[in-house]
Amino acid sequence: MINKKQPIKGRGSSDNPINRFEENYLDYDLDPETGEKPSEKTQFIKEDARSIITFNKSQDVPFEASINPYRGCEHGCIYCYARPYHEYLGYSAGLDFETRIMVKYNAPDLLRKELSSPRWQPQVIAMSGVTDIYQPVERKLELTRKCLQVLADFRNPVGVITKNHLITRDIDILGELADYHCIKVTVSITTLDRDLGRVMEPRTSSPQKRLEAIRKLSNAGIPVGVNIAPVIPGLTDHEMPAILEEAKKAGATSAGYIVLRLPFKVKDLFTEWLEDHYPQKKNKVLNRIRDVRGGKLNNTEWNKRMKGQGNFAAQIRNLFKVHTHRLGLNEKQHSLTTEHFIKSHGTQMNLF
């Protein structure tokens, strides 16, 4: 259950649903000790990380290693599948996810140490696999920039995904990586509708600024693609051709898409968001989501959770295929390599 609150300007979620690991409900309207409402101002909490490179064995993602200096994300995208991870920290997947950001201030030092280890096997590292490495606080802290510089020093390949124009600040380092075929950037665009973007992804860069980021990266010789993520059935799926068209014009050479995922409490948060902002479309959107998720609002099955299943999912897949072919996207894959890694030569790995 979610306590109903008025939508908060500049936030995706308006409240905190109960943490699924907590036995007792916490009243987020009033603090039980002070009797005051919790602050909606973002708090940055130091995390004393002992390692920075994490590994996964997912069948649905094209990488095993990833890094991120942040946990939680001030971008506030209401649909973000990473929200439930905050519950492992004792917080909520709702407003807490956007306002209590864990910061690994020692991320660059840890990364240098781990890449220097004899145990490190050079491979592609993904950045922003969960939360965005270019969320607003990065402008001040520059932890992502420092991590990228470490990767450039080692010539270790990296794939970066972001929704923020701030990535253009680091074109100098990205260019160093591009010289050794060690970088691929993907810019996520969900909608071209500025008004929809403001309430759905309140603190991300506007769609127009993301297209500008693609243009600047492409002009600098940095391989860049677009990811339509997520495609929201009944709300944004019709925009796919236009997004692909604009991204191609801006210089994108590759494209991908992911259908909306609503794990755990994200289902409730997204449903409430629809009620608050698009009540007239709520039933249509939820029914379309169920159509691509086997009758449910979420399906975690391998090889199905990213693209969906059923007739409507097939329509989305075919629409994507037709327009990427028409625009000449994905005709040539950009392969990242480890052959220039300073501690190892002759080892090559193609991934992104």
| CA–CA dist 207, 63 (Å, integer) | 27
As a whole number, mean pLDDT of residues 233-260 equals 97
Place of tokens 């996207």: 329
- Model confidence at 48, pLDDT cuts 50, 70, 90, reads very high
Q: pLDDT at position 15, please?
A: 77
DSSP state, residue 84: G
pTM of the model: 0.89
Q: What is the mean pLDDT of the chain?
A: 89
As a whole number, mean pLDDT of residues 232-256 equals 98
C-beta separation of 205 from 139 below 8 A: no
| CA–CA dist 29, 252 (Å, integer) | 45
As a whole number, mean pLDDT of residues 94-109 equals 96
The pLDDT tens digits of the residues spanning 171-215 come to: 999 999 999 999 999 999 999 999 999 999 999 999 999 999 999
Q: Domains plus CATH for the chain?
A: 43-327 (3.80.30.30)
What does the CA dihedral 294, 308, 80, 3 come to, rounded to 10 degrees? -20
The pLDDT tens digits of the residues spanning 257-279 come to: 999 999 999 999 999 999 999 99
| CA–CA dist 254, 114 (Å, integer) | 31
Q: pLDDT at position 18, please?
A: 77
pLDDT at 30 over 50: no
What does the CA dihedral 272, 187, 75, 287 come to, rounded to 10 degrees? 0
Q: pLDDT at position 352, please?
A: 41
